[in-house]
Structure 1
Amino acid sequence: MKLQPDKSDVQTLTAHGPGWVAINNEKVEGSVVVGSRGERFAWDCTRFDQLGPEQFAQLASLGAELVIFGSGNRIRFPQPAWLQPLMAQRTGVETMDTPAACRTYNILAGEGRHVIAALLVESPAGG
């Protein structure tokens, strides 16, 4: 699905599909962290069951006001203990499926908020 955000000076998620997202029209295959202040790196997980406290501690080190966790093709919530580093510094966390996380990130980043999208990008079924 192609997304059409308003003109923005921040990184935007411009499209998504099975096994990929596009950041500023660049197709990225695999899980990724993207932020409104230029943060961008591969996220070390390909399936929800590979997630653990270390991935969320990494997000806490970015100092954003909000982390949007895109949990893949369907909504799945991280264990509360994994969120402790984020809660300790009063960083908000919202969980949604990855397509919804892409849309929400674009809106909040476009408003000038310091937001991080941690996107679990799962391979298509059977692939």
Structure 2
Amino acid sequence: MRLNEITFTDAKPVEGYGPGFFRIGGEVIVGGMLTGPTGTVAWAGYKDVAPLVALARKVDVLFIGTGADTAHIPAALRAQLEEAGLGLEVMSSPSAARTYNVLLSEGRRIALAVLPV
């Protein structure tokens, strides 16, 4: 068996999450979070569209975590993000964080916007 070292480029993997918080790169983010190639910042949720649209040419897929359960995102938000050229995957926040980590380890151009569980 051959083992390869995983490199997360400039983006950092999600290290953990719990009620109301996420931990990434050793830092705890309380509330929603956006992370990807441009760094990690607090995210105010579905009405905070500008930082998501800014990722349009920097990532191929944006994972949106909807909290503890999978839910639909607002139709207007989906339309704005798709119009900007972002591929979207919507799922629960735990699933989105796990999927983000796996694809990040493969060197994919991805970002993650998650609401707390």
Normalising by the smaller structure, the TM-score range is 0.7 to 0.9
Which 10-residue stretch deviates more, 96-105 or 85-94?
85-94
State the identity as a percent: 28
The runs of at least 4 aligned residues of structure 1 exceeding 4 Å deviation read none
Shift of 1:121: 1.3
Shift of 1:80: 2.2
Using the size of structure 2 for normalisation, the TM-score is 0.81
Conserved in 2, the CA contact under 8 Å of 1:32 and 1:120? yes
State how far apart, in whole Å, the 1-side matches of 2:28 and 2:43 are.
15
Shift of 1:77: 1.0
State how far apart, in whole Å, the 1-side matches of 2:106 and 2:52 are.
21
Unmatched tracts of structure 2, length 5 or more? 1-5
1:79 pairs with one of 63, 71, 74: 74
Conserved in 1, the CA contact under 8 Å of 2:7 and 2:107? no
Equivalence for 2:35: 34
Aligned CA RMSD, in angstroms, stands at: 1.8
**Residue deviations 1:40-83, cap 9 Å, x none?**
111124xxxxx33xx23430211221110000111111122212
Equivalence for 1:125: none
Using the size of structure 1 for normalisation, the TM-score is 0.75
SS, match of residue 17 in structure 2: strand
AA matched with 1:88: E
